[in-house]
Structure 1
Amino acid sequence: MQEHSLYKEKSIKGRYINADSIQGCFEKVRSPLIPIGNSVKGIALHAFTLGKGPKKILMWSQMHGNESTTTKAVWDMVNFLESEDKMAVEILQKCTLMVVPMLNPDGAAAYTRENNNEIDLNRDAKNLSQPESIALRQLFDAFQPDFCFNLHDQRTLFSAGQNNRPATVSFLSPASKPERDITPNREMAMKLIVAMNRRLQNIIPGQVGRYDDGFNDNCVGDTFQMLGVPTVLFEAGHFPNDYEREKTREFIFISLVEALLTIAKEEIEMFKTDDYFSIPNNYKLFFDVLVKNPKLVNDAFAIEQSVGIRFKEVLDGKTIVFRPEIAEIGVLEGFYGHQTIECIDTKDFGFSFERQEILDLLREFKN
């Protein structure tokens, strides 16, 4: 496969991606835009198709407005598929893609998970109370896909297994009933995930996780799986020092292309369901900063236990600011930090995020 850099959509980057951000991307799509509805605030929702093959794949991104990494990767994928690469040509000959690059533009504008009515669209599959949910379901019914790709981001707290490897990419084949049986369509989604994992292990070994498969019929993926369509949940997670998720977008791009190639080449049955279960589960073992033995000697200040700090993502204008917050204080054995500080004095706070902000946070807690 060609280098991601050749297809990376340079007009969008960073964490804040709203409807205005992708207008230029829409203008480059060769096929006509398909209006599928409007958001609560009246922003038009659009889909478009790529390819003319018999295998139909429906994919949607930014169902949660503050989960933008997969949106960037989708546009990178579009650039690849509209190239002259022989693999892109084969995919478009064998597959028809229906793409919704932003399902929740109101949430994207406000950088919130929910839509403008403060409803989580991924918990609205049963009630269909929101116009965005209705638009996706009507598109699903009309398109009648053979596969669905549900594209999301996950927080930095997840590890891939019970170790110090971050879950940079995670997948799930959702359950279609409380018993979590392996139905034929769920098994097909599992095998497709195995194909993507095999590719990713060559690039980010040990950094692929398996998302929790607890059944919830209000979730869109579970619902579509119930309706007999193999559905894959993609979760774009953390890569070291990549809070803008520009590296993670590359891994999602690679995953998308690998999945499409596997479908186009009819190679799904080459993979084994057992290998899906060998992908380690996600665990919530990471802090953004783990401070061990935090002492401010000159100020006669000390916290005797470790401090776990997580960043809150805050929209400031059109920029996402990462503000530290104390998440947990304790022994914290078995937990990890994307940055870990073993310190005995203020001079030991030598890490890339604002030193004074962490110090002030610890002082505020002590007082």
Structure 2
Amino acid sequence: MFTFVNQINIMDLEQLFIKNKERSISGRYLTLDAIEPVLNKLNTNNQLSIIGESVLGKSIYKYQIGQGKIKILLWSQMHGNESTTTKGLFDFLNLLHDGSDFADELLNTFTFCCIPMLNPDGAALYTRENANKVDLNRDSQNLSQPESVMLRQAFENFKPDFCYNLHDQRTIFGVGDTGKPATLSFLAPSYNEEREVNATRMKAINLIAAMNEQLQSYIPGQIGRFDDSFNINCIGDTFQYLGVPTVLFEAGHFQEDYQREKTRKYVFIALVSSFSILSENDIVSNKIDNYVRIPQNNIVFYDFIYKNVNINYDGIEKITNFAAQFREELVEGDICFNAYIVEIGDLSGYWGHYEYDAKGAHFEAEYGNAPIINEKADFYLGKNLRFVNGLIKN
């Protein structure tokens, strides 16, 4: 029988994703109503249970599958408006049900305990916080919220060997100063203020370094390393402090993929790659140098940058640049991406996911001849080139 490494080398992970993609869920707005049918479909052998209720009385589900010795705890949508890793997690759960030899080996090697939506109230409201306006990822010490208590109880009862803390990050993040978006970023959280590396954290570091090596074949140069400042109130820092190797996933922007349907594929590939690595015990060597060479996750992007724009400010004409950013706004059950002007000036060192060189064309809008912060990105450059919601309107 093939080992995991041999199998993953001969498998096309992109084709494996296409085969197992959960097509009933898509886009950015993912609620409990959307995932409950999927959970029920996957509940083939009583793997599904309810571990409690949210502030507003919504069910919080645990899905446990496998009989292997290596125990993996995964949770997603701790922040309600961060749904990409939830989609990737369901794609992976579909793989575990596809009847393949690879799935059987995964199930015989691992036991997976998944909380796919820790914050269903925040998911419905499309907010980072829960219904009490508390950031659950800053509540790991106070445990003031029912959702935080349930995650801690799951951790203590399951006694995982590894924790996967699954999140999204905004489009503003790039990979160092490369001008590439941070499609995926990782972190082995610190366990103390000094950000030292002990045996527990080293396991997470080695796993991330090995995942990065695999992922560079799929998204070269688009993987970042998240800031490791210590905050014991964050759940990843707490679990690392408690002696369980913890990996933070941050699903970010891929070019022109505002619905994060391409990014979910790379989340799936990252998950599959990580379990292949763990199954082969391929994280025993010290890969800290490889880890720290992953470029830092930096705030270097705007959704739109307009360059060399001629504006009239208090009767004085000058050439400048300005930037606009989408706000994700929940309107009648849909997420609307509405672009607003957020910065005016030099903007050197920043990139735009969309960039336009006005070549000295005049700025005109209903409110005047210069962009204004927090105004909608609806304007003209020159007499005939119209922009609506940040984009050229034909």
Q: 3-state DSSP class of the match of 2:319?
A: coil
Match of 1:309 in 2: 324
CA distance in 2, matches of 1:295, 1:217: 49
Q: 3-state DSSP class of the match of 1:294?
A: strand
- Are 2:317 and 1:337 aligned? no
Q: 3-state DSSP class of the match of 1:305?
A: strand
CA distance in 2, matches of 1:73, 1:49: 16
Match of 1:363 in 2: none
Match of 1:195 in 2: 210
Shift of 1:278: 0.8
Q: Which amino acid aligns with 2:356?
A: I
Aligned residues of 2:32 and 2:117 also touching (Cα < 8 A): yes
Q: Which amino acid aligns with 1:14?
A: G
Q: 3-state DSSP class of the match of 1:99?
A: strand
Aligned residues of 1:159 and 1:283 also touching (Cα < 8 A): yes
CA distance in 2, matches of 1:350, 1:122: 48
Q: 3-state DSSP class of the match of 1:216?
A: coil
Shift of 1:138: 0.5
Match of 1:214 in 2: 229
Q: 3-state DSSP class of the match of 2:240?
A: helix
Counterpart of 1:43 (choices 58, 66, 85) is 58
C-alpha change, 1:114 and 1:358, in structure 2 (3 Å) is same
Q: Once superposed, which parts of structure 1, at least 4 consecutive aligned residues long, lie more than 4 Å away?
A: 300-303, 347-351
Q: 3-state DSSP class of the match of 1:269?
A: coil
Counterpart of 1:63 (choices 63, 71, 78) is 78
Question: What root-mean-square deviation, in Å, do the aligned CA atoms of Structure 1 and Structure 2 show?
Answer: 2.1
C-alpha change, 1:347 and 1:127, in structure 2 (3 Å) is same
Match of 1:357 in 2: 389
Larger helix share, 1 or 2: 1
Q: Unaligned regions of 5+ residues in structure 2, if any?
A: 1-10, 362-379
Residue range with higher mean Cα deviation, 271-280 or 16-25: 271-280
Residue range with higher mean Cα deviation, 300-309 or 219-228: 300-309
> How many residue pairs align between the two structures?
356
- Are 2:66 and 1:24 aligned? no
Shift of 1:302: 6.1
Match of 2:27 in 1: 14
- Are 2:94 and 1:79 aligned? yes
CA distance in 2, matches of 1:103, 1:292: 42
CA distance in 2, matches of 1:350, 1:314: 29
C-alpha change, 1:260 and 1:292, in structure 2 (3 Å) is same
Larger Rg: 2
Aligned residues of 1:159 and 1:166 also touching (Cα < 8 A): yes
Q: Which amino acid aligns with 2:25?
A: I
Aligned residues of 1:87 and 1:261 also touching (Cα < 8 A): no
Shift of 1:271: 6.2
Aligned residues of 1:295 and 1:301 also touching (Cα < 8 A): no
Match of 1:261 in 2: 276
Shift of 1:200: 0.8
Q: 3-state DSSP class of the match of 1:355?
A: strand
C-alpha change, 1:14 and 1:348, in structure 2 (3 Å) is farther
Aligned residues of 2:63 and 2:115 also touching (Cα < 8 A): yes
Q: Which amino acid aligns with 1:160?
A: V
Question: How many percent identity over aligned positions?
Answer: 48
Matches within 5 A, 1:1-367: 1=11, 2=13, 3=15, 4-29=17-42, 30-32=44-46, 33-270=48-285, 272-295=287-310, 304-343=319-358, 344-345=360-361, 346=380, 355-358=387-390
C-alpha change, 1:54 and 1:307, in structure 2 (3 Å) is same
Shift of 1:28: 1.6
CA deviation map 1:302-334 (0-9, x unaligned): 663211211111011222111112222111111
Shift of 1:31: 3.7
CA distance in 1, matches of 2:67, 2:102: 15
CA deviation map 1:12-46 (0-9, x unaligned): 00000000010111112224212211100000111
Aligned residues of 2:310 and 2:320 also touching (Cα < 8 A): no
Please report the TM-score for the alignment, with normalisation by the length of structure 1. Answer: 0.93
C-alpha change, 1:349 and 1:340, in structure 2 (3 Å) is farther
CA deviation map 1:153-180 (0-9, x unaligned): 0000001111211000000000000000
Aligned residues of 2:202 and 2:286 also touching (Cα < 8 A): no
Aligned residues of 1:36 and 1:46 also touching (Cα < 8 A): yes
Residue range with higher mean Cα deviation, 252-261 or 31-40: 31-40
